[in-house]
Amino acid sequence: MSTISFAGRVAIITGAGGGLGRDYALDLARRGAAVVVNDLGTNSDGTGGPSRMADSVVGEIRAAGLSAVASYDSVATAEGGEAIVATAMKAFGRVDVLINNAGILRNAPFDELEDSTIDTMLSVHLKGAFNVTRPAYRLMKRQRYGRILFASSAAGMFGNTEQAAYGAAKAGLVGLMNVLSLEGRAHGVLCNALLPTAESRMGAQMSASQMKEFGEVFAMAGPYLGNSGTPPFVTPLVVYLVSEACSSTHGIYSASLGRYARVFVAASNGWIGPRDRAPTAEDVEAHFTTICDQKNVTVPGSLRDEFTDIIKLLHKS
């Protein structure tokens, strides 16, 4: 097993002034990457700031004799995204890796969600990833090499109470990754999504009812958790996914409590309805168990693959 090296590579990590992003930045720098440490420097709910959080991470990296530059632009605007990528180009002349990690959290029961929260969550997480990825992807496509990772969340892929805006934005990132991975593959640009779990200041945003729900789950873990809920337990998967050693694209990966797993979006084989007439709602009711049966599933790699899977089932029916 050879050492995974980033010598000669340039990595942009958004929201890397603390939490998970800081840990990714430190490991990538240790492995030879020149790192753009981007962080607007807000509170975890997006209020306050801007502050120069990125400076301390850049300081840590440089103190070790390694290469990094700070960026204080917000991912939430197109100009901010352009400026982050321009910082990398000015300092290091290329962009090989982009980790869309910047994020904020505001929890609220659905009926109490305010417009401003929905707009802010979508603009930082979802629009933010578009803003940075578009200029970075153009460069990567031209140089025929790139690795892009989107920090999604189990809250979006599986669901979590009181996180409708956050979950919708995070699930939206998977949609972005699904499409960009298909477009980027031919140009050597590979894209994946990450569902991380780690203690960070974001966790402090949980409401009392969420804390109770999670407290009950973690009580079952007893001594088995160890330190597995900390950023260094997420970083190894991230570093592998954005490395030259990794050929995966179009994947969703979970790094949670020391368990590393691939997450799939699957379709059941379902029920093949009549060909000569459209079925009725009663037909659907009668076959609902078959429609929902999870025993036989496929994992379509694209919209085209889903059509192909259905047509194969038609042949068999």
| Contacting residues toward ligand NAD, per CB under 6 A | 14-15, 17-21, 38-42, 44, 46, 53, 74-76, 101-104, 124, 128, 151, 153, 196-198, 200-202
34 vs 53 by CB, closer to ligand NAD: 53
Q: State yes or no: cis peptide before 236, omega within 30 of 0.
A: no
**24 with 9: CB under 8 angstroms?**
no
Residue 72 known to be catalytic: no
Where on the phi/psi map is residue 274: left (φ > 0), alpha (ψ -120 to 50), or beta? beta
Q: Which helix H or strand E contains 290, and what residues bound it?
A: helix 288-292
69 vs 75 by CB, closer to ligand NAD: 75
**26 with 57: CB under 8 angstroms?**
yes
Q: Which amino acid is at 100?
A: N
150 vs 271 by CB, closer to ligand NAD: 150
Please count the other Cβ atoms lying within 10 Å of the Cβ belonging to residue 119: 12
Using alpha carbons, select from 176, 11, 2, 159 the residue that is nearest to residue 91: 11
56 vs 67 by CB, closer to ligand NAD: 56
Q: How far is the CB of 259 from ligand NAD (least distance, A)?
A: 14
Residue with tokens 């691939």: 262
145 vs 171 by CB, closer to ligand NAD: 171
Q: How far is the CB of 64 from ligand NAD (least distance, A)?
A: 21
Q: How far is the CB of 276 from ligand NAD (least distance, A)?
A: 48
- Phi/psi at 148 (5° precision): -125, 130
Q: Which of 166, 224, 253, 260 is catalytic?
A: 166
Residue with tokens 């802010």: 120
* Cα 214 to Cα 111, 121, 180, 201, distances in angstroms: 22, 23, 34, 16
Using alpha carbons, select from 66, 67, 12 the residue that is nearest to residue 39: 12
**14 with 99: CB under 8 angstroms?**
yes
For the chain, give percent helix, strand, coil, nearest 5: 50, 15, 35
Q: How far is the CB of 211 from ligand NAD (least distance, A)?
A: 14
Q: How far is the CB of 39 from ligand NAD (least distance, A)?
A: 5
Q: How far is the CB of 140 from ligand NAD (least distance, A)?
A: 20
Residue with tokens 């979950």: 167
36 vs 139 by CB, closer to ligand NAD: 36
The catalytic residues are 166
